Structure 1
Amino acid sequence: MPHSPDDFATYAHARLPELLTTAHLLSGGPGDPREATELVRRTLVKVCARWRRIPRDDVDFYVRRSLVKEYLRRARRRRTRSARQRAVLVLLHWEGLGEAEIAQLLGCSTGAVRSRARRGLAVYGGDAERLRGLFTEAAESAKSTSGGVPFDVPLDAVEQRGRALRRRRRGVVVAGCALLLVPAVVFGAGGFMGAGSADDGSGGGASDVAQSPTRIVAPGERVDAVPGVQVWLTTDGKHWSTPERPNQFRALTGDSDRKGERLKPGVSAQLDPMKSGFFLSGLYRGLSADPARVEVTVDDRRITGTVLTLAGSPGWGVWYARTPLTPEELKSSSIDGGPTVTVYDAAGKVVARGGADE
C-alpha cells in the first residue's frame, strides 16, 4: 500500500542523519559536507516525487537505492572508476547489508558483489575491522566539520521541488499519451504500447497502484505477448520466441533448494533485441500465491508487467512487459546494474526482487 503524501516529511526527518552519514562515506570527502548534502538533497527530491507510489515496506530499499544510484551517476560524470567498489564496501561494512541485499540494490549478481568487496578490502590489508574503524572516524569527522548540523536544506524546499518534478513528469506522460493515440488505433491493443502496460511514476490515480494483468494458461498454450513474440509455459519452465531468437527456454531446475523440494523465492529478467527496442520478460518462482504486481524499474521509469501462470497456482510463472526498452535506456541502466524487477503480493509487500540475468 502506498504512503500518504503527508508521511514524507516524517520519514525524511527520521532518516536524515543516517542518509547524510552514508552519503559522506560514499563521496569519500567527509571534510566537506557540501558534496554529501547535495547528494542527499537530490535523492530526497526524487523520492518525494514518487512518494505516493512506494509501498510502505519498501521505502528503505528504494531510498537507499536512489542514494547509491545518484552517487554512481555523479561518480560516472567524474570518471571515478572505483565508485561501485566503494559503494559495496560502504553498504557491506557500514550499513551492514548482506551480499544478497547489496546485489538486489545494485542490480548485479552476488558473485559480483563478493568480488568487489574482496578487491576493495584488499586495499585495507584485508582487515574488515580496520575498515569499519575508518568509516567510523570519517563519520565523526563529518559531523564535527558540519558543526553538528545534519542537513542544511529545509525539507519544505525538498518537498516543493519534489512536487514540481512530479507535475513535470505527469505533463510529459499526458503529452506522450496524446501522441500515441493514433498509433494505438492503427496497430491495435496488442501493440508494444498497449493499454495499461506502463507506469508514468507520477503518483495519484489508479496508476499509482496498477496491478499486473494475470492470465492463466494451459501447458503449451502460446500467448502473443507483443507483435512477433510468443510466450508459453510447460511444467518445467518458460518458453519464448522472438524473430531474432526463436525457441528459447528457461528451466526451473537449479532454482530449488538442496533437497529439490521447493523453489526459492526469486525473479529473473531476460532482454531480447527487437527492431523497436528490447523485449523484457522473466520468470518468478517460489511464491505462496500469484503476484499482484510485477514492476520493472529502469532508471526513473517504471513498467508494470503482465503475468502468465499455469492453472493451479504453482507458485511460479512468467512476467513480460508490453512496453519496449529502448537501446538508450538499456545503455544507461546497464551502467547502474541494469533493470530491477520487483514482485509484490496483494498487500503491497515485496516478495521477490531481481535483475537482468548475467
Structure 2
Amino acid sequence: MPDPHDDFTAYAHAQLPRLVTTAHLLSGATGDPGEATELVRRTLVGVCARWRRIPRDDVDFYVRRSLVREFLRGARRQQVPSHGVLKDTSARQRAVLVMLHREGLREAEVAQLLGWSAGAVGSRARRGLAVCGGDAGRLRELFAEAAEVAEAAEAVQVGSGDVPFGVSLAAVEQRGRVLRRRRRAVVTAVCALLVVPAGVFGVGRVVGGGTADGAAAGAVDVARSPIRIVAPGERVAALPGVQVWLTSDGKHWSTPQRPNQFLGLTEESYASGSKAGAGKPGASVQPDRLNSSYFLSGLYRGLSADPARVEVTVDDSRMTGTVLTLAGSPGWGVWYTRAPLSLAELKSSYGDGGPTVTVYDAAGKVVARGGADW
C-alpha cells in the first residue's frame, strides 16, 4: 500500500518556490531567507499533520490559509515592525494586500480565507493601499520586483546546500507525524470526557460517523456530520440546557445565559459577514459560553442538497458539527457542536479571524464557507 504522505511530499515539493516567495512578501524580508523559511516550515508541518483530512480538491485553499494565519500568529506574538514593500502597514493589512495584489484573489475569497467579513477585508485593503501610495498597479509592480529579489535569494539558498529553500521536507514530515499523533491523543481524551446527547441520534435521519468516500474526495478518515430532519418549531436538546429549533425564516436557539436567540435567513451578517444575496452559499458561527466550554452553532445556506459534513476550525482545533434541517432539503440549515475552549482561547482565535466553518457535500467537495463576524 502506498504511503499516504507520498502525495504530500510531491505537493510540497512542487509548491515550495511559490510558498517561500509569498512568505518573503508577507514578512518583507525579501533579501533574508531565514524568516520566510521558518514561516513555510511551520506551515507545512501543520499541513502534514492534517494531510489525511484535507480534501484533495481543496488543498491550495487550506495551505494558503495556513500560511497566512501562521504569519499573523507570529506577527502578533513578536510584534515585528513591517518593512520592505509593505513598510508601515499592519500585519493584517499586509496579509490582505499580498492575497489581493500578488496572489490574485478577490475580496470575497480573502474573506473566506481568513474567516473575516468582506467589509473587514475591504477596509484593510483600502487603508493598506493608501499607506503604500494608493496605486494598486504600482503595488503589483513592486510585488513583482520584490518577488524577483526573493527568488534570487532562494536561488542562492538552493545552490548553497542540499536542502531546497532551507526547508527540509523529510524533517517536516517527521515533525508532522509527531504532531498528528499528539493531536489524536488529545482528541481521544477530550472525546472520552464529552457526553453526546442521545436525543441527537435517536430521532430522524442520521448520517453516521465513519469516513467520507475516499475515492471521490481523496481524503481519509473524515467523519460525516450527524444529520437530523426536524419539523418547524421542533425543539432539539443539543446539550444540557441548550435547545435549538428551526422555523421557515431562520435559526432559533436558547442557552442558560442567553435564552430565545434568533438569526434570520435574510440577515446579511451571517454569511462570513458579507452582503451575500439570497441563495449564495455561505455559513456563520455564533459562540455561546457554557461554563468551561462553548456551544458553537451557525447557519448555512445556498446549497442544492443537504451537506454531508460541517467542520468548524478554531485555531488548530477542528470539530465536526451536527446538522439540523427542515424536510424537503431547503438548501439551508443549522449546525452545532460543543468546543472545550476557554474564554482566553476563543478570544485568541479572533486574532486570526475567529472560528471558521466549512461545509462539504457527499463527495467531500467544499460547497460553502464562512465564519464569525469581524
Shorter-chain TM-score range: 0.7 to 0.9
Output the CA distance in 2 between the equivalents of 1:77 and 1:250. 35
Output the CA distance in 1 between the equivalents of 2:197 and 2:303. 33
Hey, which bits of structure 1, 4+ residues long, moved more than 6 A? 196-199
Q: In structure 1, what is the equivalent of residue 215 of structure 2?
A: none
Q: In structure 1, what is the equivalent of residue 213 of structure 2?
A: none
Secondary structure of the structure 1 residue equivalent to 2:221: helix
Residue 155 (structure 2) aligned to one of 135, 147, 153: 147
CA deviations on 1:14-46 (whole Å, 9 max, x unpaired) are: 111110000000001101011101111111111
2:10 alignment partner AA: T
Q: In structure 1, what is the equivalent of residue 325 of structure 2?
A: 309
Output the CA distance in 2 between the equivalents of 1:308 and 1:252. 15
Output the CA distance in 1 between the equivalents of 2:98 and 2:186. 36
Residue 134 (structure 1) aligned to one of 114, 118, 142: 142
* Structure 1: stretches of 5+ with no match in the other structure: 200-205
CA deviations on 1:265-296 (whole Å, 9 max, x unpaired) are: 11111112222332111011110000000000
Taking structure 2 as the reference length, what is the TM-score of the superposition? 0.84
Output the CA distance in 1 between the equivalents of 2:190 and 2:239. 20
Output the CA distance in 2 between the equivalents of 1:241 and 1:230. 5
Q: 1:197 to 1:168 in 2, by over 3 A?
A: farther
Residue 234 (structure 2) aligned to one of 206, 221, 246: 221
2:168 matches 1:160: no
CA deviations on 1:81-103 (whole Å, 9 max, x unpaired) are: 71011000100000000001111
Secondary structure of the structure 2 residue equivalent to 1:321: strand
Residue 86 (structure 1) aligned to one of 79, 88, 94: 94
Aligned length: 338
Output the CA distance in 1 between the equivalents of 2:341 and 2:208. 12
Displacement after TM superposition at 1:169 (Å):
1.8
Displacement after TM superposition at 1:170 (Å):
2.2
Q: 1:177 to 1:353 in 2, by over 3 A?
A: closer
Displacement after TM superposition at 1:328 (Å):
2.6
Output the CA distance in 2 between the equivalents of 1:90 and 1:354. 21
Output the CA distance in 1 between the equivalents of 2:317 and 2:344. 13
Displacement after TM superposition at 1:80 (Å):
4.2
Identity %: 74
Q: 1:197 to 1:164 in 2, by over 3 A?
A: farther
Residue 263 (structure 1) aligned to one of 260, 279, 285: 279
Output the CA distance in 2 between the equivalents of 1:98 and 1:73. 23
Q: In structure 1, what is the equivalent of residue 360 of structure 2?
A: 344
Secondary structure of the structure 1 residue equivalent to 2:257: coil
Displacement after TM superposition at 1:177 (Å):
4.7
1:353 alignment partner AA: R
Output the CA distance in 1 between the equivalents of 2:35 and 2:280. 41
* Structure 2: stretches of 5+ with no match in the other structure: 82-89, 159-163, 201-206, 211-218, 271-275
CA contact (8 A) 1:279 1:325 kept: no
Deviating more after overlay: 56-65 vs 318-327: 318-327
Q: In structure 2, what is the equivalent of residue 95 of structure 1?
A: 103
Secondary structure of the structure 2 residue equivalent to 1:244: coil
CA contact (8 A) 1:296 1:342 kept: yes
Q: 1:254 to 1:170 in 2, by over 3 A?
A: closer
Q: 1:317 to 1:175 in 2, by over 3 A?
A: closer
Secondary structure of the structure 2 residue equivalent to 1:16: helix
